[in-house]
Structure 1
Amino acid sequence: DENGVGLSDEDLRAEVDTFMFGGHDTTASGISWILYCLSLYPEYQQRCREEIQGILGQRETVQWEDLGKMTYSTMFIRECLRLYPPVPGVSRQLSKPITFPDGRTLPEGSVTVISIFAIHRNPSVWKDPLVFDPSRFSPENVSGRHSHAFLPFSAGMRNCIGQQFAMNELKVALALTVLRFELSPDPANPPCKVPRITLHSKNGIHLYLKKIR
């Protein structure tokens, strides 16, 4: 820190645990649900594929400058993260009392649990919240939305430090998948959501892949 004091072994382990968890399990959950959504919505899958083909041409690798061009694919990914947030809830301990506009208060030291999953499906925040619609994340639709309506990486001082890296991972995974495969769901094995630390499927995610390239 600013006084030259280093991390203790316990502090160091906590940091390593955070990086391992934040860079592995959450991203795996995000990719899994994105592949599931691609299989469910073939028209959106095709739009993503056409965008990627237009960006990459005959190339089969993604370059850094390609990531910023994936406009529609990014909208699709964000809609997946809305309905299937990799971390469905977070908790915070209050460092000071808080009073809400209606007069209710919470004392210092209270632990509050925030359901990201519920916020993302709240009909008072999102119109037709269970309808999958990537256009929710077009620039004109995003501009009028509350900054805390969409929280796949949490928010505030304790938000996800790796969110930009994670988004890039998700873009690359989507791009290279739709470039090579056509995805469809397995109707006999629909996923059963389990809200643990990350959003899992109790019975896995079963898809059919048809090679196209």
Structure 2
Amino acid sequence: MSRVFTLFAQHPHIEALAREEARAVTANGGTIGWNTLGDMKYITACIQEALRLYPTVAALAPRVAELDDYLPRSDGKPIFIPKAGRHICRNELSEVVGNCDRYQHCCHASQSIPTKPCAMVKGNTYYSMPFSVGAKNCIGMRFAMAELQVVVATLLLRFSSRLTDQANVNPKMVGVSIKPVHLDMTVHSIA
């Protein structure tokens, strides 16, 4: 969740659009419930993009090659994998999401509030798998996403966040997670 708000702090116009959606969802009664989660398409896209860029568990299963090898690619240029090299593969395909390291909450300039995250619009269900996929995916995925949607929307309705000059949000590996080097933010009430 810290990365969602870090990205909002880095992109205030995106935070404003997400806040607008949170206000629209709560306009008829003021509460966020199970029935309103599906209406939070932009907030969900922002959460999914934060998870794509900064997955909670980024390096669960590193691999060590027993022999030099080449992995084929669709463009015909193979990727060299050296023997005894430790390899960690992130779910980043530039062919699917363009600039993999750039925050891409919305792929279509004419679409101010996207209905799906960038790569989903392009038709690739597996562009990002922070909860894994298939029969052995995370059993708590739906609960975690629902919780993120509710908490993010609730906080957006009450607060705005900004990075301080001391903040260093460059990623660093801590165990199996990617964390910012020094996350320093100020939180401002908007209620």
5 Å-filtered alignment, 1:175-186, equals 175-186=153-164
Q: Which runs of 5+ in 1 are unaligned?
A: 1-30, 94-99, 103-111
Shift of 1:65: 1.2
1:107-161, Cα deviation, whole Å (9 max, x unpaired): xxxxx96523xx33x4344212222121247448515343332111122333211
5 Å-filtered alignment, 1:1-213, equals 31-57=1-27, 61-91=31-61, 114-116=88-90, 119-120=91-92, 122-136=93-107, 138-139=115-116, 142-195=120-173, 196-203=175-182, 205-213=183-191
Bigger CA radius of gyration? 1
> Contact 1:34–1:77 at 8 Å: present in 2 too?
yes
- Displaced runs of 4 or more, over 3 A: 58-61, 136-141, 143-147
The verdict on how the C-alpha distance between 1:182 and 1:101 changes in structure 2, with shifts beyond 3 A counting, is closer
Aligned-partner SS, 2:169: coil
Q: Which amino acid aligns with 2:23?
A: Q
Scaled by the length of structure 1, what TM-score is found?
A: 0.66
Across the two proteins, how many residue pairs are aligned to each other? 164
CA RMSD between the two structures: 2.7
Scaled by the length of structure 2, what TM-score is found?
A: 0.73
The verdict on how the C-alpha distance between 1:52 and 1:182 changes in structure 2, with shifts beyond 3 A counting, is same
Aligned-partner SS, 2:172: strand
- Identity of paired residues, percent? 25
**Which residue of structure 2 lines up, in the alignment, with residue 106 of structure 1?**
none
**Higher helix residue share:** 1
